[in-house]
């Protein structure tokens, strides 16, 4: 028997804390596979001898999948329910992970990108189902606190993922790149790169096996099989709830937020290389950003709502982001890179407040509202592409600032205006 998704069940619902622990494990998985993209950009750039624009197809394809598959995922989640939807999402992710590893080992870049697209489709289903569940699992004023807990799990995995990939696959990436450039003949160069690519095969096969095992564990777990509202309920409610300005503008704010998050996390390696840092160091920079982000989540978890509201915390985060962006632009070398990494600290508490504000009062249309917000994750595809296309013309530091500053300011304005809105009491229950 399924239960209807609602926000009436208290801090951990009347299901106890076990569902939160299971969801936290899923956020760990989301973080691990998502934040591999940063070091993967450097990996494919060396392995396939790509320029920046071609290497950044990795985040482009990955985050574009959210735009393509979020609405179909909403339909699947509504028809299958939470538990089976999560299990299916993990299976789809396993297929994408295995296909990516196979295609990289076979030196087929287009196939590897297709694997990332499939992986992103599974993540879209996971995100559409998980985020509103966490948001509505207790009182709305503490939604950011619950999402912050999930964020800690997500970013802890994000710290581990780049380090694991760097140590298992990219230990001598600088040496490989140098050897490939100075190889005496094309055959020797191809042999060097082929060996480098094969190193990624078994780690990705192992991740695929873990995802399959987790899918089976979800089916057998005590996670309640919550049921999303029926299509009839959504059809009757969508005009009243989906066309609200705070959701429509929130979709744009989410687009910008995911863009700045990916710029700080995935593009930091390219940013560091622009400052002359070697590949042996830039391969770890994504982990540095995510470490800062995890600290931000911990600080937010302690401060919200004890010291300030989740809306005010988001505004403060945007202001800090603006200051750090200006400092990154005004400085050079390691100082500039550290300022970019510290953007993880400012980004941490934007998403936990932005998502609940945007879906506030959505009622029966919450799954559809969530899907529209997940579609906006494609900001992580568009903004990095703008960066690599325009940085040769404008300069990489200036271009970075030109993308980040307006984005933080727009999110700040969204929080100031729409963060004060409160839905009728009957809708919050």
- pLDDT at residue 379 tops 80: yes
Which of residues 166 and 112 earns the better pLDDT score?
112
Looking at residue 180, its pLDDT comes to: 82
Phi–psi pair at 360, nearest 5 degrees = -55, 125
Reported confidence tier of residue 16, pLDDT bands at 50, 70, 90: low
So what's the pLDDT on residue 140?
62
Give 279-330 pLDDT, tens digit per residue: 888 988 999 998 999 898 888 878 887 888 888 999 999 999 999 999 999 9
Q: Is the pLDDT of residue 156 over 90?
A: no
Q: How far is the C-alpha of 129 from the C-alpha of 75, rounded, in Å?
A: 11
**CA distances from residue 206 to 35, 119, 213 in whole angstroms, order as listed:** 17, 15, 11
**pLDDT (average), residues 392-399:** 96
Across the range 176-191, mean pLDDT stands at 82
For the stretch 42-64, pLDDT in tens is: 899 999 989 999 999 999 999 99
Q: Residue 220 burial (CB < 10 Å; 0-12/13-18/19+)?
A: exposed
Give the pLDDT score at 391.
95
For 227, list phi and psi in degrees, rounded to 5: -115, 130
Q: Identify which has the larger pLDDT, 3 or 35.
A: 35
Q: Which domains does the chain have, with CATH numbers?
A: 3-419 (1.20.1250.20)
Strand-pairing partners, residue 227, are 4
How many of the other CB atoms lie within 10 Å of CB of 50?
16
Kindly indicate the confidence band of residue 366, based on its pLDDT and cuts at 50, 70 and 90: confident
Cα separation, 147 vs 174, in Å, equals 38
pLDDT in tens, 214-241: 999 888 887 766 555 554 555 555 555 6
3-state secondary structure the chain: CCEECCCCCCCCHHHCCHHHHHHHHHHHHHHHHHCCHHHHHHHHHHHCCCCHHHHCHHHHHHHHHHHHHHHHHHHHHHHHCHHHHHHHHHHHHHHHHHHHHHHHHCCCHHHHHHHHHHHHHHHHHHHHHHHHHHHCCCCHHHHHHHHHHHHHHHHHHHHHHHHHHHHHCCCCHHHHHHHHHHCCCHHHHHHHHHHHHHCCHHHHHHHHHHHHHHHHHHHHCCCCCEECCCHHHHHHHHHHHHCCHHHHHHHHHHHHHHHHHHHHHCCHHHHHHHCCCCHHHHCCHHHHHHHHHHHHHHHHHHHCCCCCCHHHHHHHHHHHHHHHHHHHHHCCHHHHHHHHHHHHHHHCCCHHHHHHHHHCCCHHHHHHHHHHHHHHHHHHHHHHHHHHHHHHHHCHHHHHHHHHHHHHHHHHHHHHHHCCCCCCHHHHC
């Amino acid at each position: 028997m399924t239960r209807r998704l609602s926000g009436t069940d208290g801090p951990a619902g009347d299901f106890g804390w076990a569902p939160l622990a299971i969801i936290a494990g899923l956020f760990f998985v989301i973080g691990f596979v998502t934040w591999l993209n940063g070091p993967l950009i450097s990996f494919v750039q060396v392995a396939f001898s790509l320029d920046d624009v071609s290497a950044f197809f990795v985040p482009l394809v990955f985050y574009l999948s959210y735009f393509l598959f979020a609405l179909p995922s909403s339909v699947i989640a509504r028809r299958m329910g939470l538990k089976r939807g999560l299990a299916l999402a993990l299976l789809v992710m396993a297929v994408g992970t295995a296909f990516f590893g196979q295609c990289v080992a076979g030196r087929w870049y287009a196939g590897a990108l297709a694997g990332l697209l499939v992986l992103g489709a599974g993540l879209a289903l996971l995100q559409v189902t998980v985020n509103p569940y966490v948001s509505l699992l207790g009182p709305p004023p503490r939604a950011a606190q619950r999402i912050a807990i999930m964020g800690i799990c997500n970013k802890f995995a994000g710290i581990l993922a780049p380090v694991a990939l760097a140590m298992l696959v990219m230990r001598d990436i600088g040496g490989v790149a140098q050897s490939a450039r100075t190889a005496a003949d094309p055959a020797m160069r191809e042999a060097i790169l082929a060996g480098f690519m094969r190193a990624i095969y078994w780690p990705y096969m192992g991740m695929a096996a873990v995802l399959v095992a987790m899918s089976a564990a979800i089916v057998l777990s005590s996670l309640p099989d919550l049921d999303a509202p029926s299509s009839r309920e959504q059809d009757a409610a969508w005009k009243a709830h989906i066309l609200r300005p705070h959701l429509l503008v929130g979709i744009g704010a989410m687009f910008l937020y995911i863009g700045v998050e990916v710029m700080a996390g995935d593009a930091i390696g390219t940013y560091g290389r622009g400052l002359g840092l070697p590949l042996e160091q830039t391969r770890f920079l994504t982990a540095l950003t995510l470490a800062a982000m995890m600290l931000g989540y911990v600080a937010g978890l302690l401060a919200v709502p004890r010291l300030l509201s989740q809306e005010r915390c988001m505004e403060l985060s945007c202001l800090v982001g603006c200051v750090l962006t200006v400092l990154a632009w005004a400085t050079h070398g390691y100082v500039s890179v550290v300022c970019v990494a510290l953007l993880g600290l400012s980004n941490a508490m934007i998403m936990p407040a932005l998502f609940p504000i945007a879906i506030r009062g959505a009622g029966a249309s919450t799954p559809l509202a969530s899907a529209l917000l997940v579609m906006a994750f494609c900001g992580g595809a568009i903004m990095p592409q703008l960066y690599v296309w325009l940085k040769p013309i404008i300069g990489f530091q200036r271009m970075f600032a030109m993308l980040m500053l307006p984005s933080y300011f727009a999110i700040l304005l969204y929080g100031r205006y729409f963060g004060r809105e409160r839905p009728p009491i009957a809708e919050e229950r």
